[in-house]
Amino acid sequence: MEQERFEQRRGRRANVQAPLLIRRAEARASGAFTEETTQDISLRGVSFQTSHPTPYRVSDLVIASVAIPESQAREFPFVRLAGRARVVRVQELTGPAAADSRQARVALEFNHDVTALTAVPP
């Protein structure tokens, strides 16, 4: 029998491709941010695909900042989300998209103190 997949996300997601700066929380100020690209986003979290050489693990704590392009403002009402987050899912990818390197899709859940900035109309 085929297993059904249930949606585990709590918030509505927008399919927004935006720059994501991320670093491990334990890296503190000395740790460099890496840049990824989001696949979808909500006020509760974000997912992205990565080929980062040191893969993320569930429960890792990270600092994340997402800048939403103005061209996608209709999809998501904020221009930036920033704050601490926790890795809640890591899915290894296989197939043609991951043939050249180790690829994974990573889902983050923002902490309650995430900062969401809105654009001020001109």
Placement of tokens 């987050």 in the chain? 85
Residue 1 lies in a domain: no
pLDDT by residue (tens digit) across 17-38? Answer: 999 999 988 866 667 889 999 9
Domain that holds residue 97: 19-117
Domain with residue 106: its CATH number is 2.40.10.220
The answer to whether residue 5 sits within a structural domain is: no
Fill in the amino acid letter for 76.
F
Supply the pLDDT for residue 35. 93
Domain count, the chain: 1
Mean pLDDT to the nearest integer, 49-64: 87
Question: Would residue 36 count as lying in a domain?
Answer: yes
91 in any annotated domain: yes
93's tokens: 């990818």
Buried b (16+ CB within 10 A) or exposed e, 77-104: ebbebbbebbbbeeeeeeeeeeeeeebb
Query: The pTM is what?
Result: 0.80
